[in-house]
A and B are shown apart, each in its own frame.
Chain A
Amino acid sequence: MAIFTATNPFMSLTDSVEDDFELSTVCHRPESMDKLEEQTKFTKKELQVLYRGFKNECPSGVVNEENFKHIYSQFFPQGDSSMYAHFLFEAFDTNKNGSVSFEDFVFGLSIILRGTINDRLNWAFNLYDLNKDGCITKEEMLDIMKSIYDMMGKYTYPTMMDDAPREHVESFFQKMDQNRDGVVTIDEFIDSCKKDENIMQSMQLFDNVI
Chain B
Amino acid sequence: MAAGVATWLPFARAAAVGWLPLAKKTMPKPPVDNSSRSDEILYVNVSGVRFQTWKNTLDRYPDTLLGSSEKEFFYNEDTQEYFFDRDPEMFRHILNFYRTGKLHYPRHECIQAFDEELAFYGIVPEIIGDCCMEEYRDRKKENQERLAEDTEANEANDAPLPPHSTSRERLWRAFENPHTSTMALVFYYVTGFFIAVSVIANVVETVPCQPPKGMVKDLPCGMKYQLAFFCMDTACVLIFTFEYLMRLFAAPSRCKFMRSVMSVIDVVAIMPYYIGLVMPENEDVSGAFVTLRVFRVFRIFKFSRHSQGLRILGYTLKSCASELGFLLFSLTMAIIIFATVMFYAEKGTKGSTFTSIPASFWYTIVTMTTLGKHIKRHYIQVDLKLLVLWTAGFTQTFCRH
Per-residue A-contact encoding for B8-31, CB less than 8 Å = 1, 0 else: 111111111111111111110110
Complex: A198 Cα to B20 Cα, angstroms: 9
- By the criterion CB–CB under 8 Å, are A52 and B27 in contact? no
Complex: A209 Cα to B29 Cα, angstroms: 11
Total residues of chain B contacting the partner, CB 8 A: 29
- By the criterion CB–CB under 8 Å, are A121 and B21 in contact? yes
Residue with the greatest number of chain A CB neighbours at <10 A, chosen from B1, B9, B25, B27: B27
Complex: A13 Cα to B101 Cα, angstroms: 29
- By the criterion CB–CB under 8 Å, are A113 and B14 in contact? yes
- By the criterion CB–CB under 8 Å, are A53 and B19 in contact? no
Judge whether B7 is part of the interface by a CB distance below 8 angstroms. Answer: yes
- By the criterion CB–CB under 8 Å, are B15 and A208 in contact? no
User: Known contacts A53-B7, A71-B8, A75-B12; is A209 also within 8 Å of B30 by CB?
Assistant: yes
Per-residue A-contact encoding for B220-244, CB less than 8 Å = 1, 0 else: 0000000000000000000000000
Nearest A-chain residue to B32, judged by Cβ: A208
User: Known contacts A202-B26, A209-B13; is A74 also within 8 Å of B39 by CB?
Assistant: no
User: Known contacts A74-B2, A120-B17; is A202 also within 8 Å of B27 by CB?
Assistant: yes
A108 neighbours in B (Cβ, 8 Å) = 14
- By the criterion CB–CB under 8 Å, are B11 and A205 in contact? no
A210 neighbours in B (Cβ, 8 Å) = 10
Q: How far is the CB of A179 from chain B (nearest CB, A)?
A: 19
B39 neighbours in A (Cβ, 8 Å) = 49
Judge whether B216 is part of the interface by a CB distance below 8 angstroms. Answer: no
Residue with the greatest number of chain B CB neighbours at <10 A, chosen from A71, A121, A123, A128: A71
- By the criterion CB–CB under 8 Å, are B18 and A109 in contact? no
Nearest B-chain residue to A189, judged by Cβ: B21
- By the criterion CB–CB under 8 Å, are A84 and B18 in contact? yes
Question: For residues 18 through 73 of chain A, which have their beta carbon under 8 Å from a beta carbon of chain B?
Answer: 49-50, 52-54, 56-57, 71-72
Complex partner residue of B12 from A72, A199, A206, CB under 8 angstroms: A72
Complex: A55 Cα to B45 Cα, angstroms: 27
Q: How far is the CB of B381 from chain A (nearest CB, A)?
A: 59
A71 neighbours in B (Cβ, 8 Å) = 5, 8, 11
Judge whether B4 is part of the interface by a CB distance below 8 angstroms. Answer: yes
- By the criterion CB–CB under 8 Å, are A105 and B11 in contact? yes
B2 neighbours in A (Cβ, 8 Å) = 74
B10 neighbours in A (Cβ, 8 Å) = 50, 109, 113, 209-210
Judge whether A11 is part of the interface by a CB distance below 8 angstroms. Answer: no
Complex: A50 Cα to B4 Cα, angstroms: 11
- By the criterion CB–CB under 8 Å, are A52 and B7 in contact? yes
Complex: A53 Cα to B24 Cα, angstroms: 33
A112 neighbours in B (Cβ, 8 Å) = 14, 17
Question: For residues 151 through 169 of chain A, which have their beta carbon under 8 Å from a beta carbon of chain B?
Answer: 168
Complex: A88 Cα to B13 Cα, angstroms: 13
- By the criterion CB–CB under 8 Å, are B20 and A148 in contact? no
Complex: A31 Cα to B27 Cα, angstroms: 35
B29 neighbours in A (Cβ, 8 Å) = 205
User: Known contacts A56-B4, A57-B8, A127-B18; is A198 also within 8 Å of B30 by CB?
Assistant: no
Judge whether A17 is part of the interface by a CB distance below 8 angstroms. Answer: no
Complex: A148 Cα to B2 Cα, angstroms: 24
Complex: A113 Cα to B15 Cα, angstroms: 10
- By the criterion CB–CB under 8 Å, are A56 and B7 in contact? yes
A87 neighbours in B (Cβ, 8 Å) = 18
- By the criterion CB–CB under 8 Å, are A57 and B4 in contact? yes
Complex: A197 Cα to B367 Cα, angstroms: 86
Judge whether A145 is part of the interface by a CB distance below 8 angstroms. Answer: yes
Nearest A-chain residue to B3, judged by Cβ: A56
Q: How far is the CB of A189 from chain B (nearest CB, A)?
A: 8
- By the criterion CB–CB under 8 Å, are A88 and B7 in contact? no
B20 neighbours in A (Cβ, 8 Å) = 124, 199, 202-203, 205
User: Known contacts A71-B8, A74-B1, A109-B11; is A205 also within 8 Å of B18 by CB?
Assistant: no
Complex: A201 Cα to B8 Cα, angstroms: 24
- By the criterion CB–CB under 8 Å, are A148 and B18 in contact? yes
B17 neighbours in A (Cβ, 8 Å) = 112, 120, 123-124, 127, 206
Nearest B-chain residue to A190, judged by Cβ: B21
Nearest A-chain residue to B11, judged by Cβ: A109
A123 neighbours in B (Cβ, 8 Å) = 17
Judge whether A172 is part of the interface by a CB distance below 8 angstroms. Answer: yes
Nearest A-chain residue to B99, judged by Cβ: A56
B4 neighbours in A (Cβ, 8 Å) = 53, 56-57
5 new A-B contacts at CB < 8 Å, known A199-B23, A203-B20: A71-B11, A121-B21, A124-B21, A198-B23, A209-B13
**List of 8 A-B pairs having minimum Cβ-Cβ separation, nearest first:** A53-B7, A56-B4, A210-B10, A112-B14, A75-B12, A202-B27, A198-B26, A209-B13
For this complex, 13 residue pairs linking A to B, each with C-beta atoms less than 8 Å apart, are: A56-B7, A57-B4, A71-B11, A84-B15, A84-B18, A112-B14, A113-B10, A121-B21, A124-B21, A198-B24, A198-B26, A205-B30, A209-B13
